[in-house]
A and B are shown apart, each in its own frame.
Chain A
Amino acid sequence: MDLFLQQLLNGLSTGSVYTLVALGLTMVFGVLHIPNFAHGAFYMIGAYVTLTVMTILGLHYWVAMIFSVFVIASLAVLSDRLVYHPLRNASPLQHMIAAVGILLFLEALAQVLWGADYRRMETSYDDVVHIFGLTVTEQRLLILIAAVVIMAALHWFLRKTMIGSAIIAMAQNREGAYLVGINANVISVLTFAISGALAAAAATLASPINLIFPAMGNLVIMKAFVIIIIGGMGSIPGAILGGYLLGVAESFGATYISGDYKDMIAFVLLVIILTVKPTGLFPGRVH
């Protein structure tokens, strides 16, 4: 029973990271219909920026995170303006290839700037906490709490502010949004900024318990794609639910089935789901 709860907690903290990445991906897809393969690269650069700011400028972890959030948000906006915006009338194939180009570029750039070796991010939160008989590192607790705070903030922004409503309107019905005078460019910039910010925050939260290396984003982005297909492309509640589900499923899979194959769970799950239901679990639902 203890092992069960322990793994549940670990799964939820991993799931929080997946959720944050998937949220950014699903928002960009919902609003702009772009499958942003480069999102994983944003995640990876986010981790490196935090690490660099912490080691070179000696800034505190949270300050470094905010710095990284702004840098990656700008990077995401830049990629939208320079690449996706000129391609807005192009075929889906061209979107995907352009995204692959950005991904390859950023990965190689990280290798040039920071080297190919694995790096570790120091954290001041690696003490162990005991709650209800469970042992958990402070960092994992922080991930859990920070993810919930970020999601709550995002929810508030999308539901209670005018500009957040505009994003949702755009996701629900593009033509309708144009008709009531919503500026597509502003929405597109904003959506990319949010998605980049989420990726940077997720990377900064996850880095102390994982390692940082140029290809670290690949597995995460593939899993994020699985999550948004499970949860419905463009659906925010779906991404949250799917993220936590996948995190927990992996954690239990690693414990009770096989640690070697835990990364396969997501992909086998997706293959099964799409085999049974080719349009995803919740087709056409956008919130």
Chain B
Amino acid sequence: MDKVMNIRNGVILTFIITLLLPFIVQSQYVLHVVTMALIWAISVYGYNMNVGYVGSLSLAHVGFFAIGAYTLGLLTVKAGWNFWLAFMAALVLSAAIGFLVGLVSFRTKGHFFAIYTMCVGFIIYLIIDKWDSLTGGVRGLIGIPHPAPIGPLTFDTLTSQYYLVLFFLAVTILVAKRLLHSLLGRTFLAVNNSEELARAIGISTRKNQLLSFVISCFFAGLAGALYASFVRFIGPDIASIVLGFEMLMYLIIGGIGTLAGPLVGTLLMVWLTQSLQFLQDSRMVLFGPVLVLLVIFYPQGIVGGITNHWRKRRKRSDLKHSESKLPKQVPSHRVNARR
């Protein structure tokens, strides 16, 4: 029982710290980095809802991030739309394109799906890079406005933008939590564990895979739109597959399929990247092998590993208490068993 209290207290403490962060941290630079990390985290949460919950590895996730960013950028800069209207349009368009892509791509399976989505992601990148007259090509798109004020709330300062991003991250986490513990989330898990078994009990695997894919694209678009309005400059680099791999790495390190994993992984990796700044682009010399080692020895990531450890310990202590009643150990069931 006290274990549960610990987790809840931890969550409350984390929430209070994040709320008070602009007052604790005086440096604008640190606040800027943290805000960026929270934007990445939103995208990684979206990724998790597809890769982690349903188990289909899409390599086009970063493409939908870019679609969100460029939709907001183009509609505000070139078409002169109202910010929040363009923001909504960015979310709707990411999800809609995600729906169309998912409709076709889920006809393929396994490796084919990964390669198919990789090609889709690369086509998105090439369109942004080559369609000079619309997207500005390699020069990028500049002068994207800050979020427009809502009533008395303005978003001109860094602190206010931090709270805006924090608000959207909180919404994302709530959705991720609701999803994981709902019937839908359990259905996703069933599809993840075994497509054949899921079909056997009457679950439409295609429909659920598509649904999770669209949700994940929606959050990628959300993160992209926030990124565009925060950084105010976007280039084709934000659609590059390398950035997609980086998001995947955040997810794997934090813990794939877990609720806290995306946040833990993203914050940790952004912090590490900042502290290893002298390594610059060669930081992957370090992170690449870490990723490989993690996949081999610790595939559940940090959060998944700790959760498993706790679960085992609790089971052991439970067994000790009821030893007289339960002479034989019950085979422990792995929730996240893979095919």
What residues make up the interface of A, taking CB atoms closer than 8 Å to B?
29, 35, 83, 86-87, 90-94, 96-98, 100-109, 111-112, 116, 215, 218, 222, 225-226, 229, 233, 260-261, 263-264, 266-268, 270-271, 274-275, 278-280
Contact = CB atoms under 8 A, between A and B. Distances in A.
B122 A100 contact: no
Contact of B104 (A107, A112, A229, A275): A275
Given A100-B248, A112-B282, A226-B119, A92 B110 contact: yes
A274 B291 contact: no
Interface string B287-301: 111111001100100
B321 interface: no
B107 interface: yes
Contacts of A87: 295-296
Nearest to B291: A101
A266 B123 CA distance: 10
13 contacts: A29-B111, A35-B114, A35-B115, A87-B295, A97-B248, A105-B285, A105-B292, A116-B281, A229-B112, A271-B116, A275-B104, A278-B108, A278-B112
A104 B245 contact: yes
A260 B126 CA distance: 9
Contact of B123 (A116, A229, A264): A264
Contacts of B299: 90, 94
Contact of B288 (A35, A92, A108, A279): A108
Contacts of A233: 111
B252 interface: yes
A261 B137 CA distance: 13
A98 B115 contact: no
Contacts of B118: 222, 225
B319 interface: no
Given A105-B284, A271-B119, 8 more contacts: A35-B114, A35-B115, A83-B292, A102-B292, A104-B284, A104-B288, A261-B130, A274-B112
B145 to A, nearest CB: 30
Interface string B81-99: 0000000000000000000
Instruction: Give the 5 A-B CB pairs with smallest separation, nearest first.
Output: A105-B288, A108-B284, A101-B291, A278-B107, A101-B292
Q: Taking each of B55, B109, B110, which has the highest tally of chain A beta carbons within 10 Å of its own beta carbon?
A: B110
A278 B112 CA distance: 8
B283 interface: yes
Contacts of A264: 123, 126, 130
A118 to B, nearest CB: 15
B115 A105 contact: no
Nearest to B127: A264
Nearest to B105: A274
A222 B291 contact: no
Contact of B339 (A91, A96, A226, A274): A91
Given A97-B252, A278-B107, A109 B296 contact: no
A214 B290 CA distance: 20
A263 B285 CA distance: 29
Contacts of B107: 274-275, 278
A222 B290 CA distance: 24
A261 B288 contact: no
A101 B288 contact: yes
Interface string B259-292: 0000000000000000000000111110111111
B126 A225 contact: no
Contacts of A271: 104, 116, 119-120, 123
A180 to B, nearest CB: 27
A207 B258 CA distance: 44
B320 interface: no
Contacts of A83: 292, 296
B123 A268 contact: yes
A107 B242 CA distance: 11
Residue in A106, A222, A268 with the greatest tally of chain B CB atoms within 10 Å: A222
B237 to A, nearest CB: 12
B266 to A, nearest CB: 16
B220 interface: no
Nearest to B281: A111
Contact of B55 (A35, A93, A116): A93
A91 B114 CA distance: 14
Residue in A92, A93, A279 whose Cβ sees the most chain B Cβ within 10 Å: A93
A177 B102 CA distance: 38
B338 interface: yes
Contacts of A111: 281-282
Nearest to B244: A100
Given A98-B292, A105-B289, A92 B111 contact: yes
B215 interface: no
B338 A91 contact: yes
A29 B285 CA distance: 26
